[in-house]
Amino acid sequence: MEESLEAHKIMSMEPEKRERVINAAMMEFSKGFKSACTDTIVREAGISKGLLFHYFGTKRGLYNFILQNACEIIHDEYIVLVDVKQMDIIEKIWQMTLLKMDLSHKHPALFDFLAKAYMELQENPDAEMAKYFAKTRSDAVDKVLENIDVSLFKDGVDPKKAANIVLWTLNGYSASQINSSMDMEDYKTEYERYLEEIKEYIAILRKTMYK
């Protein structure tokens, strides 16, 4: 997994076809590495199995690329967009929740794949894979805690623990609401409802933790 994405063979493939391969693989690997079927991936991507293995060599090679690519998506389309100038940690996490909801719609299988990959990593430790997860988590936590105003919290409230509570609450809500099969019209219809319900959770958390 040391090879950069830009240097990978698959980057020579035309962009539209490459995205089909990546999306099909991410969706299939959301079932888990062992359960994923390369026949399904090539069928959904519209390419031959020979071409798939020409680019990735093995099923594991494909999986490793998809994991690295997923972590880069999280970094480039989520973490770097967090407003570090925002000093209110609850407001910052609210903004991150909105970013995550948009990312879930743009890449429907992304978070399911990463969640499954992380679970499998706990069962079968792999130093290379762990490195990508650790870097992604560290970057996200750093963004959450950067430049926050701890004076907003009630006395005795640990900012890091409070941040975890907010993250767990809103991530759990998002996971329960985002439907990977939702089409664009459904997404537009439901989006405002999501926002209003999240605001209610935010209000409760703010009242509980802030002065």
- Kindly report, residue by residue over 36-66, the tens digit of the pLDDT: 999 999 999 999 999 999 999 999 999 999 9
CB atoms within 10 A of CB 109: 21
Q: Given a cut of 60, is residue 182 above it in pLDDT?
A: no
Across the chain, mean pLDDT equals 84
pLDDT at 109 over 70: yes
Q: Cα torsion for 121, 122, 126, 127, to the nearest 10°? A: 110
pLDDT at 5: 79
Question: How far is Cα 199 from Cα 195, in angstroms, rounded to an integer?
Answer: 6
pLDDT surpasses 60 at 184: no
Domains of the chain, start order:
5-209 (1.10.357.10)
Asked if residue 1 has pLDDT above 50, the reply is: no
Task: For helices 38-45 and 49-56, give the axis angle rounded to 10 degrees.
Answer: 110
Q: What angle do CA 131, 82, 146 make, to 5 degrees?
A: 75
pLDDT band, residue 3 (cuts 50/70/90): low
Is 118 exposed, middle or buried, given 0-12, 13-18 or 19+ CB atoms closer than 10 A?
middle
**Beta-carbon-side half-sphere exposure of residue 131 (alpha carbons within 13 Å):** 7
Does the pLDDT of residue 185 top 60, yes or no? Answer: no
